[in-house]
């Protein structure tokens, strides 16, 4: 069975298109899931942004209330520990 170059090219093209059709049909059921996941991620980012904005606004309100009442707010370091004001006894704290 001697095939000419044109016949070989046509068979290759037919096999390629068949394979491409199979892959496309198999992946079509995942496309809505990808869109849903993308939408969920977008909503999650918006929720995190809104939370950060509301947290910053509430911290600003707390600081302005503390300054207007003459109280000093304890500063919080970036390492997760809070500095305790000088007049507070360690025995009064609810944790060790």
Which residues, 6 or more positions from 55, have their beta carbon under 8 angstroms from its beta carbon?
none
User: How high is the pLDDT of residue 6?
Assistant: 92
Report d(CA 64, CA 70) in Å as an integer.
Answer: 10
Q: Locate the domains of the chain by residue range.
A: 1-57
Q: Which residue has the higher pLDDT, 7 or 37?
A: 7
Instruction: Using alpha carbons, select from 65, 89, 87, 62 the residue that is nearest to residue 76.
Output: 62
pLDDT at 84: 73
pLDDT at 66: 58
Q: Which residue has the tokens 């990808």?
A: 34
The rounded distance, in Å, linking the Cα atoms of 10 and 91 is: 88
Residue 65 phi/psi, 5° resolution? -70, -40
Q: What is the pLDDT of residues 51-92, one digit of tens each?
A: 988 888 887 766 666 555 555 555 555 566 777 777 777 776
């Amino acid at each position: 069975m001697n095939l000419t170059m044109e016949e070989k090219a046509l068979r290759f093209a037919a096999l390629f298109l068949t394979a491409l059709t199979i892959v496309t049909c198999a992946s079509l059921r995942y496309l809505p899931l990808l869109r849903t996941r993308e939408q969920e991620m977008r909503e999650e980012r918006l929720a995190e942004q809104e939370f950060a904005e509301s947290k910053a606004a509430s911290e600003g309100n707390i600081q302005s209330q503390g300054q207007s009442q003459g109280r000093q707010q304890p500063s919080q370091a970036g390492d997760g520990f809070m500095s305790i004001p000088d007049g507070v006894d360690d025995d009064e704290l609810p944790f060790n």
